[in-house]
């Protein structure tokens, strides 16, 4: 180890020759100068408090307070800037995740940025788009807030309008469509949406809808939906010259090779004025056009299989399972078809299991075949599960709840029915009067605690649609249950024989119950419900009215 000691001794000698001691002294002096520069001002300021007979302390304390305030303000500004930069970074991450398809994580990051700065329009746009793609429950509220922003774009307002039209909210869509006009919506786009609202409201035979469709056609709008709507409206309208003009236009459109021509061919076949020879010609042309579709054979095979599987004799005599495997349905559709077939063959439990599995896997927006198989069974449990699947769409939550109340009640799931009825406000259904009346009746049958709310909404319906016998019967039922039989009789009109059995039974049984409770001595024989009409009521309705079979 002697070499090690000799090496260290050599290094020490070299260090001393290089003037290491002077370097240490220089470093020490530099450190002292640094300390004086950093803290000398403080000692000078602190000593200053003794000057001017002690009055210097105001200068000292004021300066210290100013220094502390400056440091605090600077720290606050730095923290604020850092918080904003963090929100911007989260927004950038959310945009990147949206492009990659990570929707749920994108919604969380965009929502975090928006909650930090709720007044930032860019963050609001980002979280709204992320929620729309992810079908989040808070998307409707975010879309309304974005569309209601003073600096909202036309496309953002139109997106909300189209979503409301798709969700069946006629009044809400009309309200936002008015704002879209203020932002410069073109007349053709305006008329297209007004036409959709007219058709959605069931007013397809009204003149305003026909006028709007005609204006769109006159403006040269090449849209297959407009062409079909125009044809349907003209076929309903009674003016011969209008129908003749529509027929000429449709025949001209039928020569086109695009979607408008296809729609015109389909619409022409519904015109009674079309001659038989031309009808056969256009029918053959439509068949030829369909055959040109590369998916025609596949679609035809699917339709043939669906038609055959509705026949119980075919199912018993043929190997339907092999035929199902050879079809081009996707796996989820095959599972639903298997479940429906098994139920028709009497294998209820196995069929129900297949239908539930298909419903669990299917996308709510692509569930038409699964939906038709489930509804064809008439099973309450499966129908409830289907509506719960629809409820995942934020635009369908309220309408799904309105239908679920009565389904829960009929399935004897009373706690679910009461909870759903308590959570649903009928005011949200004012844009859909028929669904509102149905939900109000279901809430009454579930619990009498909702009578006051149902009364307010039923009075509003009768005031707006005084001619509708169902709305008047609903209001009369509420009056009767609240002990106002005289008002109920006043609002009820005599049931007509041409009414459907269910409607006629409800009106006559309610009138009879009011007459009985008022102890009128001479009720007419027309007021007394027949046995068929009494049987048409549900047991809970007969119990409410105290009517025996």
Please, are residues 508 and 537 in contact by the beta-carbon 8 Å criterion? Answer: no
138-165 average pLDDT score: 88
Q: Which residue has the tokens 């009820």?
A: 492
Name the more confident of 160 and 23: 160
Alpha-carbon distances of 191 from 163, 196, 247, rounded to whole Å? 17, 9, 22
pLDDT, mean of residues 96-118 = 88
Least confident range from 14-23, 347-356, 405-414, 434-443: namely 14-23
Report CA-CA distances (Å) from 485 to 479, 488, 494, 512.
6, 5, 15, 10
pLDDT digits (tens, 9 = 90+) for 349-397: 888 898 888 888 877 666 677 888 888 888 888 888 888 888 887 778 8
pLDDT in tens, 207-248: 444 455 555 555 555 566 666 666 655 655 555 666 676 777
Per-residue pLDDT reduced to its tens digit, 273-332: 677 778 778 778 777 777 777 666 777 777 788 888 888 888 887 888 888 888 888 888
Instruction: Note the pLDDT of residue 296.
Output: 66
Three-state DSSP class for 41? helix
pLDDT at 205: 41
Q: What is the DSSP letter of 547?
A: -
Q: What is the pLDDT of residue 204?
A: 41
> Which single residue is written with the structure tokens 């759903």?
420
- Give the tokens for residue 23: 């370097």
């Amino acid at each position: 180890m002697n070499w090690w000691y000799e090496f260290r001794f050599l290094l020490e000698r070299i260090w001393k020759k290089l003037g290491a001691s002077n370097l240490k002294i220089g470093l020490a002096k530099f450190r002292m100068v640094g300390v004086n520069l950093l803290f000398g001002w403080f000692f000078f300021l602190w000593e200053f408090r003794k000057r001017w007979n002690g009055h210097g302390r105001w200068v000292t304390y004021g300066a210290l307070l100013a220094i502390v305030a400056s440091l605090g303000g600077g720290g606050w500004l730095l923290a604020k800037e850092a918080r904003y930069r963090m929100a911007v970074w989260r927004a950038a991450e959310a945009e990147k995740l949206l492009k990659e398809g990570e929707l749920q994580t994108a919604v969380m990051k965009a929502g975090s940025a928006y909650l930090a700065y709720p007044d930032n329009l860019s963050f609001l746009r980002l979280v709204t788009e992320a929620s729309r793609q992810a079908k989040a429950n808070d998307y409707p509220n975010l879309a309304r807030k974005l569309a209601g922003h003073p600096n909202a774009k036309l496309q953002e307002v139109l997106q909300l309008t189209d979503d409301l039209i798709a969700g069946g909210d006629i009044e809400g869509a009309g309200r936002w469509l008015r704002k879209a006009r203020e932002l410069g919506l073109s007349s053709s786009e305006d008329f297209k949406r007004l036409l959709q609202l007219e058709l959605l409201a069931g007013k397809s035979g009204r003149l305003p809808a026909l006028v709007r469709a005609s204006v769109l056609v006159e403006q040269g709008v090449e849209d297959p939906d407009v062409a079909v709507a125009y044809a349907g409206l003209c076929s309903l309208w009674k003016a011969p010259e209008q129908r003749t003009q529509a027929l000429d236009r449709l025949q001209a459109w039928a020569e086109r090779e695009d979607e408008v021509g296809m729609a015109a061919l389909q619409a022409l076949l519904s015109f009674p004025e079309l001659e038989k020879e031309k009808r056969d010609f256009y029918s053959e042309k439509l068949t030829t056009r369909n055959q040109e579709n590369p998916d025609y054979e596949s679609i035809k095979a699917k339709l043939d299989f669906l038609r055959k599987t509705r026949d119980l004799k075919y199912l018993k005599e043929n190997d339907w399972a092999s035929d199902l495997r050879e079809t081009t349905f996707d796996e989820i559709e095959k599972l639903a078809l298997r479940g429906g077939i098994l139920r028709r063959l009497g294998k209820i439990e196995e069929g129900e299991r297949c239908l539930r599995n298909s419903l669990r896997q299917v996308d709510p927006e692509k569930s038409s075949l699964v939906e038709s198989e489930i509804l064809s069974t008439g099973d309450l449990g499966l129908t409830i599960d289907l509506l719960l699947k629809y409820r995942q769409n934020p635009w369908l939550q309220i309408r799904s709840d309105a239908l679920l109340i009565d389904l829960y009640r009929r399935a004897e799931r009373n706690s679910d029915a009461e909870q759903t009825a308590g959570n649903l406000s009928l005011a949200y259904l004012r844009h859909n009067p028929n669904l509102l009346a149905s939900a109000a009746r279901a809430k009454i049958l579930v619990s009498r605690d909702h009578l006051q709310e149902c009364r307010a909404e039923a009075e509003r319906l009768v005031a707006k649609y005084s001619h509708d016998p169902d709305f008047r019967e609903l209001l009369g039922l509420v009056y009767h249950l609240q002990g106002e039989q005289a008002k109920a009789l006043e609002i009820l009109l005599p049931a007509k024989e041409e009414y459907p059995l269910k409607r006629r039974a409800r009106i006559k049984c309610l009138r009879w119950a009011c007459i009985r409770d008022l102890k009128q001595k001479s009720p007419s024989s027309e007021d007394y419900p027949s046995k068929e009409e009494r049987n048409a009521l549900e047991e809970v309705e007969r119990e409410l009215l105290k009517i025996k079979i």
